[in-house]
Amino acid sequence: MREVNKQLRAVSFEGIGGPQMQTLGCRSLYPMDRLSIIGFDSLDKYPEIFSIRNKLVDHFLANPPDLFIGIDVPDFNLGLEERLKSAGIPTMHYVSPTVWAWRGYRIRKIRRAVDHMLALFPFEANYYRKHHVPVTYVGHPLADQINLRCDVATARRVLHLPSKAMIIALLPGSRSSELNRHADLFVKTAIWLYKRHPNVHFVAPFVSTDTRLIFENALLRQGAWFLPITIVANESREAMAAADIVLLASGTATLEAALLKKPMVVTYKMSWLSYLLVLPFLHVNLYALPNILAGRKIVPELIQSKAAPEKLGVAVENYLTHRAKVHALRAVLSGIHHSLRRNANKRAAEAIIKMLKSRKPISRRTSPGTAS
């Protein structure tokens, strides 16, 4: 929005936005937190979500924007985009669904729903070109935000961590469901490592009181009162920046760890029923984003039955005892950072403006220049 405002003098925004978008002038038609509940744990909220989507369709059909941009949340936005596109309203989607990784059949719906895709990763752009969906690779905003050089000393000072110790960051997930599966696993791994390497110090960031409590209960269950561990609120990026090695659950945090050039061990566990249901729809052999971006396994990924304390411990220990591997890995991660550092906001704005200029005006009841 900032970049579009720099390049277009007469533009207005409406849709669903949080406080920062509203500060930039977005008229939010519904509170953002009404959509933040999406997930299987909140099925009782789905009637309300469907109602909001139907009302948005009615609103935008009555007041057609020059362009509709669905940001992430594909289960919500793709259905909305499909109905708007069929009515002649141009649609763009920012942050690709992981259609390249699983549930590949969704590409048919994406073709019906999206006039143009904005991709964060180069392999996504290649995938959409192969399937004849117009796409622009814009790079990843995180790669622009995170400095090419990581200031370890400052991060340790901010978090009050020992300056000379070997720091291992533990990130077992951001959701309560992930902590319920991973907390004991991460604590047991920390115990295994500490008994073999008593000079290590752990740091564990948590996004909420609930997730922190789950982890602290795991510490009590495992009798891990002796572990040298600093628990912090929210500051996951700072915790990773301060660390020598990161042990974390698969997800967006792995990209942050990669951009910070951190040696990492990636793990994930889900219920076996969920895993068996997902397995037939998977199209990838690699799960961790750094490995996918590199096109090969550059960091260990231990999923499901391989996610055991001793195996995770050995993988972390491998970094402690093979510094040449750490140096080589950091060089690869630096290359990934450079490849994703493309001034994503500016490139996205340029793609948006190009699309606006290429489209014929839509008959509307509101003033021109509305983007959503």
**pLDDT level of residue 366 (50, 70, 90 thresholds):** very low
Around Cβ 288, how many Cβ atoms within 10 Å? 27
Report the distance separating Cα 18 and Cα 29, nearest Å: 11
For the purposes of burial, counting CB atoms within 10 Å of the CB of 17, is it exposed (0-12), middle (13-18) or buried (19 or more)?
buried
CATH number for the domain harbouring residue 184: 3.40.50.2000
What confidence tens digit (pLDDT) does each residue in 260-291 have?
999 999 999 876 566 555 554 555 678 899 99
The residue written with tokens 């699983």 in the block is 102
**pLDDT level of residue 42 (50, 70, 90 thresholds):** low
- Domain with 44, as residue range(s), is 2-139+344-371
Q: Please state the pTM of the whole predicted model.
A: 0.87
Report the distance separating Cα 215 and Cα 232, nearest Å: 12
* pLDDT beyond 50 at 208: yes
In a domain, 351, yes or no: yes
Residues 31 and 178 in one domain: no
Q: State the DSSP string of 94-124.
A: ES--STTTB-GGGHHHHHHH-SEEEESSHHH
**pLDDT level of residue 99 (50, 70, 90 thresholds):** confident
Residues 331 and 294 in one domain: yes
The answer to whether 5 and 11 are in contact (CB under 8 A) is: yes
Average pLDDT over residues 204-210: 95
Token pair recorded at residue 313: 């411990």
* Most confident by average pLDDT, 259-273, 307-321, 352-366: 307-321
Average pLDDT over residues 127-156: 96
Residues 118 and 226 in one domain: no
**pLDDT level of residue 106 (50, 70, 90 thresholds):** confident
* pLDDT beyond 60 at 170: yes
CATH number for the domain harbouring residue 105: 3.40.50
Q: Phi and psi (nearest 5°) for 110?
A: -60, -40
In a domain, 37, yes or no: yes
Residues 106 and 205 in one domain: no
Specify the pLDDT at position 369: 38
The answer to whether 230 and 160 are in contact (CB under 8 A) is: yes
Q: Report the Cα–Cα distance between both ends of the chain, in Å, rounded.
A: 10
CB-side exposure of 163: number of CA atoms within 13 Å?
5
Specify the pLDDT at position 171: 98
Residues 200 and 289 in one domain: yes
Total count of domains within the chain: 2
* pLDDT beyond 60 at 362: no
* pLDDT beyond 80 at 175: yes
Residues 116 and 171 in one domain: no
